[in-house]
Amino acid sequence: MSSTWFITGSSRGFGRALALAALRAGDRVAATARDPQQVSDLVEEFGAQVLPLALDVTDAAAAATTLAATRDAFGRVDVVVNNAGYANLAPIETTAEDDFRRQFETNFWGVHNVSKAAIPILRAQGGGTVVQFSSVGGRVGGTPGLGSYQAAKFGIDGLTRVLATETAPFGIRYLVVEPGGFATDWAGASMDVGTVPDEYLSTVGAVAERLRSSPAAGDPDRAAEILVRTVGRERLPSHLVIGAGAARLAIAYSEQQIAEATAWEAVSASADFAAPRVELPSD
């Protein structure tokens, strides 16, 4: 049976690739964008399979309205994809507060708004799937210059873990997607690179140079096809890392976390009332 997808940020990047993959699989897509004219070519090619909708994800009321319009047009909403997002690059010390907040409004609050608006619809119909686009940086973190973006991605993971436990009785499933570097315009036209002070040239400046000069290995069309197949499974992973480099980073980080927690386990346990005092691990 065909499914109905609701995808934010469908005009380009992963959102566009995922909309195309779902449509080619015979599914229906509510393709949202700030300007729905940007998805008019999808309507021309796929006709009634596509519902173009204007949506600024920072507008909670608009999120609810567009989801309701999707349900009314197609009868249900099977897959909600929170893809819309962007990053600007600058040191936290010198990033203007309004820029930092605007990024967070889209990257975190946009996901919150759409997820919250989707729950009543999914609950009423007996279930559905919510796909949250994070990044491998939302697991590993620490990329100089991406303070607001990665803080939001860590927040998305925390939010989604709670949503998954709260709404499990309603049959709602969640998948957090953690891509590495992909050939989208995320690091191109979509990203503003602020002035990098001399003190940050070796950290933030190096990241800016790498993002602008090194071609990304990831193919967004392949990733989209993988996601369509994955969402169709009966059993979803809670997180899906996409890209060979991202997978290596994720595994290395998890191994490091386990090693550190194990090395400090006795110290952690010694904080309990009845526990004996122990020495710290050697430096």
pLDDT in tens, 154-168: 999 999 999 999 999
Q: Are 110 and 8 in contact (CB under 8 A)?
A: yes
State the Cα–Cα distance between residues 232 and 145, nearest whole angstrom. Answer: 36
Confidence of residue 194 (pLDDT cuts 50, 70, 90): confident
Confidence of residue 216 (pLDDT cuts 50, 70, 90): confident
Q: Comparing 129-143, 161-175, 187-201, which segment has the lowest mean pLDDT?
A: 187-201
What radius of gyration, in Å, describes the C-alpha atoms of the chain?
A: 20
3.20.20.150, 3.40.50.720, 3.30.70.2740, 3.40.220.10: CATH of 4-242? 3.40.50.720
Who contacts 152 (Cβ-Cβ below 8 Å, separation ≥6)? 85, 103, 104, 107, 108
* 86 tagged catalytic: no
State the Cα–Cα distance between residues 175 and 109, nearest whole angstrom. Answer: 18
Confidence of residue 282 (pLDDT cuts 50, 70, 90): very high
Q: Nearest Cα to 67, choosing from 58, 56, 80?
A: 80
Please state, as a whole number, how many other Cβ atoms lie within 10 Å of the Cβ of residue 147. 22
Confidence of residue 183 (pLDDT cuts 50, 70, 90): confident
Catalytic residue among 3, 135, 153, 200: 153
Compute the mean pLDDT over every residue in the chain, rounded to the nearest whole number: 95
Instruction: Calculate mean pLDDT across residues 80-86.
Output: 96
* 174 tagged catalytic: no
- Confidence (pLDDT) at 34: 94
Catalytic residue among 10, 11, 135, 149: 149
Residues of the chain with CATH 3.40.50.720: 4-242
Please state, as a whole number, how many other Cβ atoms lie within 10 Å of the Cβ of residue 265. 12
Q: Say if residue 275's pLDDT is above 90.
A: yes
Confidence of residue 21 (pLDDT cuts 50, 70, 90): very high
* 200 tagged catalytic: no
- Confidence (pLDDT) at 187: 72
Q: Nearest Cα to 149, choosing from 215, 89, 97?
A: 89
Instruction: Calculate mean pLDDT across residues 246-270.
Output: 97
| DSSP per residue, 89-132 | B--TTTS-HHHHHHHHIIIIIHHHHHHHHHHHHHHHHT-EEEEE
Who contacts 47 (Cβ-Cβ below 8 Å, separation ≥6)? none
Say whether 144 sits in a helix, a strand or coil: coil
Give percent above pLDDT 70 in the chain: 100
Catalytic residue among 11, 115, 134, 148: 134
